[in-house]
Structure 1
């Protein structure tokens, strides 16, 4: 399962957090890396594993300021979830 939410960094900038198990998040990061509309400078991997074995990445930068959270979920999260089920 992959979970997303809109958050704010300490600096006050908006970011999108994505949390999932290692293998799921690894596939999600690969799909983000392959996306031409998302520059590598627009996302960062932060944190580490939680007790449930999940890690969290945070997307920041120009991409987040240009793409509303609802659109992020529609264009990135929903298709990824659909592809994971097949």
Structure 2
């Protein structure tokens, strides 16, 4: 079965976020007042596995080993089975 996977990676609270700071300063120069800006990265891919829990387990391992730094990042994993029927009649 094929699953669509989305991993959203954010900095943990208290970590410096220069990208968000730059966005806030730039928006202020344009006349907008914003606070507490946060940025995130989203990684999307598909996996062919037997079940959702196997996919989740493998993606958690990917996150811990490569996709993010667990010391400074939080991550959220979403796993959705792809539709396998084409909706056409034979």
- Give me the TM-score of the superposition, normalised by structure 2: 0.31
Name the structure with the higher helix share: 1
- Give me the TM-score of the superposition, normalised by structure 1: 0.32
**Of the two structures, which has the highest relative contact order with CA contacts closer than 8 Å and spacing of 6 or more?**
2
